Amino acid sequence: MLVPSMHAYALRQHDVGRPFFYSALILLMFTGMIALATANARPRDPRRSHLKALVGAYLVLPLMLAIPFHEAVPDTTFANAWFEMLSSFTTTGATLYDTPGRLAPSLHLWRSLVGWLGGFYILLMGVAVLMPMNLGGMEVLGGRIAGDAGAPQITRIADPSERVTRFAILLFPAYAGFTLLLWIGLAMAGESGFVALCLAMATLSTSGITPDAGLTAAQAGVPGEMLIALFLTLGITRRAYPGAFFADRGLPLYRDPEVRMAAGLVAVVTVVLFLRHWVGAIENAEGQDLPAFFHVLWGTAFTALSFLTTTGFAADQWASARIWSGLETHGLILLGLAVIGGGVATTAGGVKLLRVYALFRHGQREMERLIHPHSVGGAGASARRLRGEGAHVAWVFFMLFALSIAAVVAALTLVGIGFDPALILAIAALSNTGPLAALAGEVPVRFAELGFDAKVILGVAMVLGRIEALAVLALLTPEQWRK
């Protein structure tokens, strides 16, 4: 909170800076007292206590983060401030303040900073807490029951608190270093320093939080989008981070299943959408415009990659493609990309590429057995486990995700929202891709026009999408029931 406070004082916006400064002091003392009171507390089950802390952070921290935001924006309610901070902390990026100039620059910095730290939080907890419990997507490779800590060294030697500290020291320099590199690159490409910083934090955290109008107001153009696309790959594979958790270091990058699946999806979506626009442009006698040809091709590929990583950036050429061809772009494709999501142990949301890959390999194997019923699947024990137990767990999670979409859509329709916008809002919340609301439908859906009940429903959905349904079940189900 001291960062936006100092930023506001530098801009001589003291009414904005004071709430952050006072809130920082009060909450620092409050947190210190709680730390002293609980310093000697020892939970009965450390693994389960850290899973509770993972969930509890999304229930408590947004309320604390909303205090200075509410005080700095006098004409808003605390419920709106809570929703904004919860959306930022879960890296959803669904904003209630989409009117240009509605918020001061320091408040945009606060939103971006909360989203950036929220991305690092889920990255850290995914490695330090969800990994030992076989959650977060790695149950597909492990072949063990989700929520079962099968590694003895984790339960008998490695304390979860020590793991959190060790991985925080290991991951944060890389996470901050990538952000710094992108910030410098965007600034060199012609972007202003403040907007470049917000874009860099939004890219690394896959939150999509930008000042005012997103990429439409960016000055870096296509070179800036290329830089952003390069760092968006961090939402596809975890191999760039130190240690490359769960990754086979000897496996070439082009053979990584998540990279191959993401490349295939982006290529297919780009070709299909581009050919559709190109046919429309030929009918309008615009198909021979080569600059527009390549601009639309790049804009489609960039937008597909952005929504696959649940970031939600739309290239400038995404809107110009409709002008070029005279055809609308189907938002259903963006919804599908956001549901698939990014890589395991990354800041991206959605079902995750590794689960989709496991289902794909299982389907491929079943097709082979239709032709050769007595054939033996190869590629080793890990591949057989992926096609067997891994595909089963992936299917269970996919069904839980689908049921969650149905439940959220039903709840939203009960509070008076139509089916189409309810479906878009549900997928946007559960996949943590807030910009879907503005781009997926024929008419943009504005979060600011929603009632209090709808905001609460979407808030629960954002938390559920961020921590995943399997983690909730592992928290609610007693150990003896699973065994």
Determine the angle formed by the axes of helices 78-89 and 46-72, rounding to 10 degrees: 130
Whole-angstrom distance, CA of residue 205 vs CA of residue 118:
7
State pLDDT tens for residues 37-60: 988 888 777 767 888 888 899 999
- What is residue 442's DSSP assignment? S
Closest CA to 317 of 294, 339, 337: 294
Please give the angle made by the CA atoms of 52, 58 and 64, to the nearest 5 degrees.
120
pLDDT, average across residues 329-345? 88
Summarize pLDDT for 248-289 with one digit per residue, the tens.
666 777 888 899 999 999 999 998 888 876 776 666 555 555
Looking at per-residue confidence, does 343 or 136 come out higher?
Answer: 343
Asked if residue 143 has pLDDT above 80, the reply is: no
Better pLDDT: 303 or 373 = 303
What pLDDT was estimated at residue 216? 57
Residue with tokens 């939150």: 207
> What is the pLDDT, as a whole number, of residue 290?
63
Specify the higher pLDDT residue, 150 or 65.
65
- pLDDT tops 60 at residue 64: yes
The token pair at 358 is 């496991």
Residue pair 225/215 in contact (Cβ under 8 Å)? The answer is yes
Q: Residue 255: what residue type?
A: R
Phi, psi of 237 (to 5 degrees): -130, 145
Quote the pTM value. Answer: 0.91
Note the pLDDT of residue 480: 39
Question: Residue holding tokens 């050429």?
Answer: 317
Q: How confident is the model at residue 217 (pLDDT cuts 50, 70, 90)?
A: low
Per-chain mean pLDDT for the chain: 85
158: confidence class by pLDDT, cuts 50, 70, 90:
low
pLDDT of residue 154 exceeding 70, the answer is no
Structure tokens at 247: 């990754």
pLDDT at 26 over 60: yes
Q: Where are the domains of the chain?
A: 2-251
Mean predicted confidence (pLDDT) in 80-87: 96
Residues 350/341, Cβ–Cβ less than 8 Å? yes
Angstrom distances, CA of residue 160 to CA of 49, 52, 462: 9, 12, 25
Q: How confident is the model at residue 132 (pLDDT cuts 50, 70, 90)?
A: confident
Cα–Cα nearest to 338, from 401, 247, 244: 401
